[in-house]
Structure 1
Amino acid sequence: MIRQATTADLKAVYDIIEETSHYTLDFQVFAQTFVDQLGSLDRKMGVYEEDGEIMGFVGILCTWQLYIGYRVAETKELAVSPKYRDRGIRDELLAWAENVARESGCGILSMCSRIEHTDSHEYYKSQGFHESFYRFDKEIALKKR
């Protein structure tokens, strides 16, 4: 079942993101950011839960984009605990994000994915996404694992 994330989900979401991220995460910074995002009207966050266990997380940011002229939902996080992959949880989280984005007045759901995650790229294409941008990052103060 997917539901809106709450502060009670903080540790479970941190564990999933930490396990699937390429970065070393500071729990205190993560916790403050998570709580701040829960209180934001533009942020929508959902968790996939079964029998009291959080197995996946999705977070989107709904903003007006000047260059497009309407609201866009950017998928900022989509993570499933590795021990629960291949159970369709990612499909359900993505469908939830799309529905929430539509209900929030967004006309596009966008997704960023690391270049090396080619399997994910094929998955997103199978879900109706198409390549439309390049994203360029410059590390200025991040700690890598």
Structure 2
Amino acid sequence: MTLVIRPVVPADGPAMVGLLHQLGYTAWQGPAVEANLTRLLATGNDPVLVAERDGRPVGLMGLHMFHALNYAYRVARITALVVDEGERGTGLGRMLVDAAEELARRGGCEALELTSGMHRPKAHEFYRRIGFNDQALRFHRPIAPL
């Protein structure tokens, strides 16, 4: 069984939709994901990686690299991380996080962070196990469009 972690390509859109649905992001559909992917990749600061086993996408990771007012250094934030339900527990999540860290390092970042929904305690255990620590509680407030 061959496992490859590679940059996303437009043909990955349908697989990305399926993986994002596993995280509960069911509003995403093919054209919306593809349009968002095109916008992200155009920034140069938002790489997306796909984990592919035997030609089938089984995981994805999105990263955002940025400067923030409250940090004296550049930071990378994992914006999405999902491993297909049938692949969880195989080390694939750790490989995607390691790949994110390498991208962040090459992008001049000095820290890697992420947020995770309060309803995902197994994910929180995983993040702690691989070296992340609890530092903040994220709040979210939707903004109505103009």
Q: Same fold (TM over 0.5)?
A: yes
2:13 and 2:28 map into 1 onto residues whose CA distance is 13
* Contiguous gaps of at least 5 residues in structure 2: none
Which structure is higher in RCO with an 8 Å CA cutoff and minimum separation 6?
A: 1
- Deviation of 1:15 after TM superposition, in Å, equals 1.4
Aligned to 1:102: 105
- Deviation of 1:120 after TM superposition, in Å, equals 1.3
- Choose 61-70 or 81-90, whichever is displaced more: 81-90
Q: Is the 8 A contact 1:5 1:38 kept in 2?
A: no
TM-score of the superposed pair, with normalisation by structure 2: 0.89
Aligned to 1:6: 9
- Choose 54-63 or 32-41, whichever is displaced more: 32-41
- Deviation of 1:23 after TM superposition, in Å, equals 4.2
2:126 and 2:86 map into 1 onto residues whose CA distance is 19
| Residue 42 to residue 35, structure 1, CA distance change in 2 (3 Å) | same
1:41 and 1:116 map into 2 onto residues whose CA distance is 31
Identity of aligned residues (%): 28
- Deviation of 1:22 after TM superposition, in Å, equals 4.4
2:126 pairs with 1:120? no
2:38 pairs with 1:35? yes
The two structures, once aligned, show a CA RMSD in angstroms of 1.5
Aligned to 1:61: 64
2:91 and 2:60 map into 1 onto residues whose CA distance is 13
* Contiguous gaps of at least 5 residues in structure 1: none
Aligned to 1:85: 88
Paired residues, what number?
Answer: 141
1:8 and 1:19 map into 2 onto residues whose CA distance is 19
Name the SS of the counterpart of 2:99 in structure 1.
helix
| Residue 119 to residue 98, structure 1, CA distance change in 2 (3 Å) | same
Deviations 1:35-67 (A, max 9, x none): 211222111111101111000000000001111
Name the SS of the counterpart of 2:116 in structure 1.
coil
2:114 pairs with 1:111? yes
TM-score of the superposed pair, with normalisation by structure 1: 0.89
Name the SS of the counterpart of 1:25 in structure 2.
coil
1:103 is aligned with what amino acid? Answer: R
1:130 and 1:19 map into 2 onto residues whose CA distance is 25
Q: Is the 8 A contact 2:20 2:26 kept in 1?
A: no
2:29 and 2:12 map into 1 onto residues whose CA distance is 17
